[in-house]
Amino acid sequence: TKNLLATKQEFEDTKTTLDLTRIELVNTKSNVSDITTKLNHSITNYLASTTTETKLNSMKSTIVNLTKNVTGLNARTSGIVDIGKIPTSCEDLEQMGQKMSGFYSVKGSRKIKMVYIFQ
């Protein structure tokens, strides 16, 4: 009987410990699930910010290139002046300061003509 009581008490203690361990395990599982969710959210945010940073760098490069192009166009067209009449020749276009290659309208003897200037 003494042995039986000791075994019964040991069994009850083991059962209590097992119940506490089960509760602790459930709480740990819940914590791991929460941490996993937060980690996945953080990874998603990191990847999104990396993609955004890449896009911003690409846009910055595009803006720099466009600025260079505009600066070049401004330099090529800044010298254009009004000669007081409709141009009638390539010489008139040059006198006006036209420095860009392209098709231009000039006044012919009877009608407007298209000329191509190559610079």
pLDDT tens digits for range 21-58: 999 999 999 999 999 999 999 999 999 999 999 999 99
Arithmetic mean of pLDDT, 100-118? 89
> Looking at this protein, which amino acid is placed at residue 91?
E
| 95 plus 74 within the same structural domain | no
pTM of the model: 0.47
With cut-offs at 50, 70 and 90, classify the pLDDT of residue 11. very high
Domain with 61 in it: 1-78
| 30 plus 87 within the same structural domain | no
Residues of 95-106 as b/e, b for ≥16 C-beta within 10 angstroms?
eeebeeeeebeb
| 42 plus 96 within the same structural domain | no
| 24 plus 68 within the same structural domain | yes
| 16 plus 73 within the same structural domain | yes
| 32 plus 18 within the same structural domain | yes
| 74 plus 31 within the same structural domain | yes
| 60 plus 110 within the same structural domain | no
Residues in contact with 83: Cβ distance below 8 Å, sequence separation at least 6, in sequence order: 92, 95, 96
Q: How many domains does the chain have?
A: 2
Whether residue 104 contacts residue 114, with contact meaning beta carbons closer than 8 Å, is answered with yes
